[in-house]
A = this chain, B = another copy of it.
Amino acid sequence: MKLYSYFRSSASYRVRIALNVKNLSYDYVPVHLVREGGEQLKPAYRQVNPDAIVPTLVDDDQHAIQQSLAIIEYLEETHPEPPLLPKSPLDRAHVRSLALQVACEIHPVNNLRVLKYLKHTVGADDATKDAWYRHWIESGFATLEARLAGDPRTGKLCYGDTPTIADLCLVPQIYNANRFKIDTTRYPTIQRINDYALTLDAFARAEPGAQPDSE
Contacts and interface: CB of A to CB of B under 8 A. Distances in A.
Interface of A: 50-53, 59-60, 63, 65-67, 69-71, 73-74, 77-78, 89-90, 92-94, 96-97, 100-101, 103-105, 107-109, 111, 114, 117-118, 121-122, 124, 128, 131-132, 135, 143, 146-147
Contacts of A128: 122
A196 to B, nearest CB: 23
A181 to B, nearest CB: 20
Q: Which of A50, A78, A147 has the most CB of B within 10 A?
A: A50
Q: Which 8 pairs between the two chains have the least Cβ-Cβ distance?
A: A70-B96, A70-B97, A67-B100, A74-B93, A108-B108, A67-B97, A77-B89, A65-B93
B94 A63 contact: yes
B101 A67 contact: yes
Contact of A132 (B52, B103, B117): B117
8 contacts: A50-B147, A67-B96, A67-B101, A71-B93, A73-B93, A77-B92, A78-B89, A104-B107
